[in-house]
C-alpha cells in the first residue's frame, strides 16, 4: 500500500487492531511497506500511550480496565503496600506474581532485584518484565484468558505452575474475611490455590478497605496464607483476629493521597 506518515500509520495500526483483536509485526511491515524495526517502534510508542499491549511478534488489544495497572494510576495506598511486600523478595528468588493492580505495583521494585525467576499469568506483568534491564527470567502460565480477572486461568495454567517450585507467590484479593480468608466474586479460584500449593510462602496484598466487602466465594483460606500485607488503617481487632490464624500481618504506612 502507499506509504503513510508516522501518525497516519499508527492510527491505521489501532484501526486494524480494533478490527482483528491482534496484529503481527511481519504482517504490518508488509501492509505498510516499511521495516519491522519501524513497526516495533510504532507498537512501543502506542503501548506507552496506553493504546495496546505488546506481545512476542505483535500486539493485542488492551484488556478492559488494564489502564488501572499503569504506575501513574495506582493509588498511594497500593504503592505503599507493594513497596512493603517487595521488601520480602531477595535477589535470586523464584516468585509468582498474580494478575491485578496491587500486585502489578510490585513491578518497580522487582526491577531492582537481581537474578529473579518470575512466573505470572498477567500480560501486563510479563511485558514489563521482558523490557527490564535486570533481565529476570520470565515464565508465563499460558491458559485461557479470563476477561473478569484480566489474567490467564484454567487447567493449562495450573499444570504450568505445578511444573515448578517457588519461594513466594504474591496474590491480590477482592475481599478479606477475618475468619475465613480472602474472598472473590470470580468463581475461578483453582489457580490461586495452585499458586499456594507450589510456593513456600504465599503473600496477600490487599488494602484494609477490602475488609468491608461482603463477597461470597472463598478464594484462599488463612491456612494457605503466610503473610497479609495491608495498610495501617486496618482495625486493630481485625488484625488480631487474622494473626490468630497464624498469618503475619504487615501494615504499610500510607501518605495522604
Label residue 219 exposed, middle or buried (CB < 10 Å: 0-12, 13-18, 19+): buried
**With helix as H, strand as E and coil as C, how does 182-232 read?**
EEECCCCCHHHHHHHHCEEEEEEECCHHHHHCCCCEEEEEHHHCCEEEEEC
Predicted TM-score (pTM) of this structure: 0.72
The average pLDDT across 14-40 equals: 90
Do residues 107 and 74 lie in contact, with contact meaning Cβ atoms separated by under 8 Å?
Answer: no
- In 3D space, the residue among 178, 225, 242, 20 whose CA is nearest the CA of residue 12 turns out to be 20
- In 3D space, the residue among 51, 70, 66, 48 whose CA is nearest the CA of residue 147 turns out to be 66
What are all long-range contacts of 153-160, with beta carbons under 8 Å and residues at least 24 apart? Answer: 153/121, 153/188, 153/190, 153/191, 154/188, 154/191, 157/121, 157/191, 158/190, 158/191, 158/194, 160/119
**Which residues make beta-bridge pairs with 22?**
60
CA angle 195, 120, 219 (to 5 degrees): 35
Task: Show me where the domains of the chain are located.
Answer: 6-62, 69-252
CA distance linking residue 80 with residue 62, whole number of Å: 26
161 half-sphere exposure, CB direction, 13 A CA radius: 28
187-245 per-position pLDDT tens digit = 778 999 999 999 999 999 999 999 977 777 899 999 999 999 999 999 999 999 999 99
Q: How many C-beta neighbours within 10 Å does residue 214 have?
A: 7
User: Looking at residue 52, what DSSP letter applies?
Assistant: -
Residue, of 214 and 252, whose pLDDT is higher: 252
Q: For the domain bounded by 6-62, which CATH number is listed?
A: 1.10.10.10
Class of domain 69-252: alpha beta
Percent of the chain with pLDDT over 90: 61
pLDDT confidence band for 73 (50 / 70 / 90):
very low
pLDDT of residue 148: 64
Amino acid at each position: 500500500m502507499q506509504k503513510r506518515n508516522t501518525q497516519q500509520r499508527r492510527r491505521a495500526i489501532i484501526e486494524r487492531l480494533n478490527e482483528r483483536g491482534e496484529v503481527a509485526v511481519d504482517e504490518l511491515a508488509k501492509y505498510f511497506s516499511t521495516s519491522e524495526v519501524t513497526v516495533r517502534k510504532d507498537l512501543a510508542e502506542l503501548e506507552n500511550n496506553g493504546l495496546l499491549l505488546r506481545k512476542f511478534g505483535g500486539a493485542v488489544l488492551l484488556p478492559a480496565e488494564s489502564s488501572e495497572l499503569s504506575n501513574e494510576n495506582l493509588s498511594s495506598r497500593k504503592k505503599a503496600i507493594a513497596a512493603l511486600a517487595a521488601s520480602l523478595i531477595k535477589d535470586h528468588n523464584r516468585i509468582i506474581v498474580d494478575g491485578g493492580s496491587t500486585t502489578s505495583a510490585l513491578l518497580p521494585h522487582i526491577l531492582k532485584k537481581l537474578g529473579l525467576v518470575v512466573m505470572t499469568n498477567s500480560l501486563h506483568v510479563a511485558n514489563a518484565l521482558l523490557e527490564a534491564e535486570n533481565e529476570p527470567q520470565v515464565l508465563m502460565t499460558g491458559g485461557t484468558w479470563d476477561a473478569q480477572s484480566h489474567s490467564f486461568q484454567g487447567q493449562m495454567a495450573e499444570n504450568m505452575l505445578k511444573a515448578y517450585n517457588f519461594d513466594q507467590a504474591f496474590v491480590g484479593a477482592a475481599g478479606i474475611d477475618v475468619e475465613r480468608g480472602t474472598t472473590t466474586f470470580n468463581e475461578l479460584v483453582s489457580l490461586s490455590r495452585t499458586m499456594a500449593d507450589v510456593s513456600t510462602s504465599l503473600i496477600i496484598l490487599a488494602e484494609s478497605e477490602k475488609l468491608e466487602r461482603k463477597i461470597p466465594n472463598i478464594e484462599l483460606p488463612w491456612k494457605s496464607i503466610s503473610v497479609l500485607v495491608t495498610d495501617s488503617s486496618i482495625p486493630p481487632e481485625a488484625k488480631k483476629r487474622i494473626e490468630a490464624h497464624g498469618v503475619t500481618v504487615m501494615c504499610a504506612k500510607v501518605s495522604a493521597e
